[in-house]
Amino acid sequence: MATLLLLPGDGIGPEVCAEVRRVAAALVPSLVVEEAIYGGASYDAHGTPLTDEVRDRALASDAVLMGAVGGPNWADAPRHLRPEAGLLNLRKAMNVYANLRPAYCFEALAGASSLKTELVSGLDIMFVRELVGGVYFGEPRGIDVLPDGQKKGYDTALYTTSEIERAGRVAFELARGRKNKVHSAEKSNVMESGLLWKQVITELHAREYPDVELEHILADNCAMQLVRAPKQFDVIVTDNLFGDILSDAAAMLTGSLGMLPSAAIGDPNKPGLYEPIHGSAPDIAGKGLANPLAAILSFEMALRWSLKEVEAADRLLAAVKGALDAGARTRDLGGELSTVQMGDAVLCRI
Amino acid sequence: MATLLLLPGDGIGPEVCAEVRRVAAALVPSLVVEEAIYGGASYDAHGTPLTDEVRDRALASDAVLMGAVGGPNWADAPRHLRPEAGLLNLRKAMNVYANLRPAYCFEALAGASSLKTELVSGLDIMFVRELVGGVYFGEPRGIDVLPDGQKKGYDTALYTTSEIERAGRVAFELARGRKNKVHSAEKSNVMESGLLWKQVITELHAREYPDVELEHILADNCAMQLVRAPKQFDVIVTDNLFGDILSDAAAMLTGSLGMLPSAAIGDPNKPGLYEPIHGSAPDIAGKGLANPLAAILSFEMALRWSLKEVEAADRLLAAVKGALDAGARTRDLGGELSTVQMGDAVLCRI
Ligand SMILES: CC(C)[C@H](C(=O)O)[C@@H](O)C(=O)O
Ligand SMILES: CC(C)[C@H](C(=O)O)[C@@H](O)C(=O)O
């Protein structure tokens, strides 16, 4: 029997995860849903955002779904014990090297985008962001005091051939099931790690995926093109740092940040880590105002990628679209539904 | 007598610089305008994109205005001799550490933005991008072959206290003459150089600029907010790499990439480096189709920042606005004017 480990975390995390629980019970009754403490809540209880026990339970489960971590309460926690550090450690421990971040525009919400409707209607981009390498983890890094009293802060942006290849493979495979087009974004004109990125993707493409259309694009131009004409993109593969920034910009194109899920996957027989793109939103936490759809859609990705319940995933996606088409809107979408009411709108369509 | 060194460079560079020459002659007849070969053109003639002689002439002038560099012709040149390398070397040699990049929406063009008109009408952001440090120049960097045959590509993102302070000062000073608000963008949650950036800006603000409103923002959130509600920003100060990406995304918000200038400045008694944001556009080079306004507005910034001809700068800006209000449009703006005709439209309003 498959196990899903829920890590509700902080802020609105517990509220949106409660809706995932209801959806899971209705949709896949056989799924065992467990829960563990994580993030700021774990720091408060155990002095660390990720205990060894929770990490081991994550590794032993079939999929992990996180609510949200962090918030102003933990701003003064030591850096390596902040909720965000727990997140980075969990990604690394689970070795989920490919972060799939859709920037998908639900037809019912196209009018809510900052962009003119015709530029985003039908938008469907999938980012493959490398998630366990690059400047996020490279060594050496630190802040040193120089002889003259000045400080020097430094980080290492670093990629190896195999790290780039495995992220690239995920992108090319995905593209084959979509519009067959991959953009690889880097700054090969100024970074050596970017130049290696471009070379490795070029060779991987020629060797294993010559049938997929590949375009190299500089990260700055990619940011620009995402605003100018986002529908030119299908799959975008990029490094950890550029992926963070570009996918956030793209998420906003859809006009519905409270809607967007993500999946972090690694080796096929290992659990994936699923999380909404949104943060912990401390300002509305506990008020029943949060949109649970990003978490519910993250569960949809978990069904598809880790739990191999593709048919259930399809049904869930249809239920979410149905709810939106019927006008269900939480406050972030300009409506008045509560978190639970939005959950109901999905549940009654499953 | 003041000297402006023109570096027309490649692609459409020579065409747009020719219009700057005409404008300069009409507006500031006393200005000595010189010209030198640079970029791919210099690589073809001298085997290097920036000769020592041209570098020394740049350092000895009062301002340097560049057209554009690069293009597919030089894709196979050795990396350190590419046109882009010439640009990085010139920035470094001139020590122009603060890159001012306006994302300014001309009223006459607000409708051309990808964003809904009400989100960008009146938009006026000034980026201060640190330009001679960070991952662009940090050592060590390289691509090594590992014992197992894999490759490792690496770069160093590095900032010192004084590098951050001098960029910060430019931002705070600028804000005082504008809406008095600075956003400082970094990834202090994952990068040590970003953490130092945040600390140094915080201390500089408390010590010297407590009257200016300061907000720290994560670079990923900044990308998102630029698309969501760009008018919340006044001045954004950020590092070399984030500045490259964020200012390109923001440039696109104005709907007129062919319109945007930039200034790179350093110590007040040293020459600044001025350049249009657009590239060399090899596809339309030599056809008289390029929009010369980005180059002309770069000259406007040179008048203001290096040549201390503020009154002439004001007149030039008014002439450009007048031309746009009167409907003057090159092809990139949906019109039919040639490069020279757009130059005329400005000239006849000076
Ligand atoms: C919270 C932070 C460390 C994280 C990141 O930068 O990866 C977040 O922005 C994300 O994209 O999941
Ligand atoms: C051409 C390239 C090296 C340059 C940069 O990355 O700085 C360009 O993108 C810019 O922003 O001026």
3-state secondary structure A24-75: HHHHCCCCEEEECCCCHHHHHHHCCCCCHHHHHHHHHCCEEEEEECCCHHHC
Instruction: Show residues of chain A in contact with B79, CB under 8 Å.
Output: 195
What is the pTM for the complete model shown?
A: 0.97
Beta bridge partner(s), residue B9: B68
CATH number for the segment(s) B1-97+266-350 = 3.40.718.10
Collapsing DSSP to helix, strand or coil, A237 comes out as strand
Q: What is the pLDDT of residues B323-349, one digit of tens each?
A: 999 999 999 999 999 999 999 999 999
Looking at residue A321, its pLDDT comes to 96
Collapsing DSSP to helix, strand or coil, B346 comes out as helix
CA distances from residue B160 to A79, A154, B30, B166, B233 in whole angstroms, order as listed: 20, 9, 41, 10, 26
Cis amide bond preceding B140, omega within 30:
yes
Instruction: Show residues of chain A in contact with B191, CB under 8 Å.
Output: 135, 141, 153, 155
B232 interfacial to chain A (CB closer than 8 Å): no
CA A323, A325, A328: angle at the middle one, nearest 5? 50
Third-level CATH fold of A100-259:
Isopropylmalate Dehydrogenase (3.40.718)
Residue among B84, B200, B219 minimizing CB distance to A245: B219
Cβ–Cβ under 8 Å, residues B84 and A189: yes
Which B residues in the span 192-231 are in contact with A, Cβ-Cβ below 8 Å?
A: 192-197, 200, 219-221, 223-224, 226-229
Cβ–Cβ under 8 Å, residues A259 and A106: yes
Q: Comparing A1-97+266-350 with A100-259, is the CATH topology the same?
A: yes
Per-residue pLDDT of chain A (350 residues; tens, 9 = 90+): 899 999 999 999 999 999 999 999 999 999 999 999 999 999 999 999 999 999 999 999 999 999 999 999 998 899 899 999 999 999 999 999 999 999 999 988 888 899 999 999 999 999 999 999 999 999 999 999 999 999 999 999 999 999 999 999 999 999 999 999 999 999 999 999 999 999 999 999 999 999 999 999 999 999 999 999 999 999 999 999 999 999 999 998 987 778 999 999 999 999 999 999 999 999 999 999 999 999 999 999 999 999 999 999 999 999 999 999 999 999 999 999 999 999 999 999 99
In chain A, what are the domain boundaries?
Answer: 1-97+266-350, 100-259
A160 interfacial to chain B (CB closer than 8 Å): yes
Is 3.40.718.10 the CATH classification of the domain at B101-259? yes
